[in-house]
Each structure stands twice: as structure tokens, then as C-alpha cells.
Structure 1
């Protein structure tokens, strides 16, 4: 039973930590950020399994985390506000020629990241962009300005 409680607490703690860290587009994560994510997971697993390294305990921990994922998914579908808390909402970072620098700083996104997303759509200049949005999953969406 202790493993179930620890796995549940670790799951929720990781959701909170990942939300607090903010979003960066997956393809634009730095090696440091990848190391950070794996490091947090490695530390968490030690707290979950403690000294019991049996197969039964490992399966119990994995099953608990899987169940938590199913519960969170169901809660997100049933309660849209819960989904916004867990997954976040899209964030507008560029609008009609104006950068929203505080938002960019909060999410660790730089102008170069936005321009890379724009170039992927064949846009070369800032004036060709109407909006840039950091999506819930961290991708940057570019809405083209009217020509």
C-alpha cells in the first residue's frame, strides 16, 4: 500500500513541477532541460520504490502511475478547467508586430525560436507574421500576416 501512496504523490508532484517549469517546444529543448527531466524522474523513482526492489513492487508502482494517467485523462475530459490547469492553455507571444517579452521569458522562448518556426512555414521576416502562439504541448504556431 505504501508504494501506491508514494507513486500517487510522486505523480502529482511531477505534474506540479513540470507545470511550474514552463513549456519549451520539444524540438527546442536544450540538453540541460532533457537532463533535468530525466534527473527529476530518477530521483522520484527512488522515493517510490524505497528499499523494496522486488518485481512486485515495481509492477505496483508502474500500475499506479498508469492508473493516475488514466484518472487525469478522464478528469481532463470531464472537467475542461482541470485540463487547462494540467496541460495549460495556448499563450500568445507575438501579435501584429509586437513581442510579448514577459510571456516569452516565462516560457523560455526567444525570438530566434519563433523565427525558426516561421522559417519552417516559409516565412523569412517578422513582418510576415501576424501571430505566434505557444501551444499547450509547447509547439510554436505561426499565423501568417495577410499579404
Structure 2
């Protein structure tokens, strides 16, 4: 029969039944899991990071677990949590120090800014590599108050997953792909009326003088179009 837990048993609170040398193993486990978390978040891409640096996210995950377990489980000694905190903060400081001084390591771990829109058109090759869907891109643009791609001179996806948007001047705005859902949902593969139409994949704008069945986009070969918005 298990003995009842005695309140304020300092041996149990600080180290439990483990020898003090066990804290060395705790430190090793912490470094190992820090590397695993950093690798996993680097590989998973910017979608999982979003607004936090990969280092900050690793720090939050690691410290959150280290802080939570000793609060709830009587058999998790406080000394182990202190070692975890110390080692994680040390790893964080070391990795950020190295990253700040080595551009190649920084870009490998954090990524680098990527152009996804230029002159009102989506850069398909860059866009496809960014693990970003068209719906997500349009949502980010709408948050910035953009109604159609002809307003966008440049859009850059930052290493933390956020989108930086630079507009044309008002007098330079041209027709472009509408990103408001009600207008975008009117897309078609059969242009029935002459006019300017935007490719639903890359935003390229083309003028059709007569009805056309599935005209392919000269930029990305997509056959689906929607009437370009002013």
C-alpha cells in the first residue's frame, strides 16, 4: 500500500527519491529536447510559427512544460525544473547569439523573407514553396485592407510568417484579381463577355475581346478566370 504524501516533505519536494547526480541527466534530456523542438519547428515551416520567432516558440514550449509539471505532480522535484529552466535559457541565449552572428545559420533556422506578390501578380514558384494556401494569402491581404491584387506593388512573407504589404500609389493602381469572397467566387472557365479578366491562380490580367472557352493563363496555364476588379 502506497504511503500517503506528507506535506512539505523537503526531500520529496526538492529531489524526491532520485540521487542528486540525476540532475545531470535532466540537463542532458533538456538539451536533447531543445534540439528536437528546434529542428521540428524549423522543418514544419512558417505556418506553425506565425508572429513568434522559432526560438521564442521553442522557449515557450519548453518552459511551459517545465513549469507546469512540478505544479501538479508531487513526484516531479523542483530541482529538476530549475535545471530545465537554466539549461533551456542557456540554450536559447547560445543559439540566438550564434544566429545573430552567422547569417547562414540564421536563415537555415528562421528562414528568410520571400517575395510572394510583385506588380499585382502572385509569384507562383515562391508561393508554392511557402506552404501557404491562396485562401490564407487572401485573408492576410484583406486584413491589410486590400480588395484586389492590382493595389499591391509588393508583398513579402517574413520569416515569422507574417505578410508585409506595399501598395501602389492611388494613381498607379490597376485592375487585378478580386480577393473579396463574393467577387472571387464568380470565377469561370468560360469567358462569356468581352473585358478584362484575372487569372484565379496568379492574378495575371488579360483582356478578351470575344467569348473564349477555357483560355489558359500565359503565366501559369490556369484556365479559370474571374472579372478583374478596379
TM-score bracket, shorter-length normalisation: 0.7 to 0.9
Counterparts of residues 117-132 of structure 1 (less than 5 Å):
117-132=140-155
Verify: 1:6 aligned to 2:29, yes or no: yes
Matched, 1:109 2:140: no
Residue 86 (structure 1) aligned with residue 122 (structure 2): no
Residue pair 2:117, 2:123 contacting (<8 A) in 1 also:
yes
Q: Following superposition of structure 1 onto structure 2, how do residues 30-109 of structure 1 map, counting pairs within 5 Å? A: 41=61, 53-109=76-132
Which sections of structure 1, spanning at least 5 residues, go unmatched?
28-36
Give, in angstroms, the shift of residue 82 of structure 1.
1.7
Q: Distance in 2 between matches of 1:115 and 1:143?
A: 15
Distance in 2, Cα, partners of 1:130 & 1:111: 18
Q: Distance in 1 between matches of 2:168 and 2:43?
A: 32
Aligned residues of 1:92 and 1:134 also touching (Cα < 8 A): yes
Alignment correspondent of 2:50 = 26
- Unpaired runs of at least 5, structure 2: 1-23, 52-56, 70-74, 173-230
Per the normalisation by structure 1, the TM-score is 0.73
Alignment size in residue pairs: 130
CA distance in 2, matches of 1:68, 1:121: 36
- Name the structure with the higher helix share: 1
Take 2:117 and 2:28, find their aligned partners in 1: how far apart are those partners? Answer: 43
RMSD over aligned Cα atoms: 2.8
Tell which has more relative contact order, 1 or 2 (C-alpha 8 A, sep 6+).
1
Mapped contact 1:22–1:108 kept (Cα < 8 A): yes
Structure number with larger C-alpha Rg: 2
1:102 is displaced (CA, Å) by: 5.0
TM-score, length basis structure 2? 0.49
Aligned-pair CA distance for 1:120: 2.9
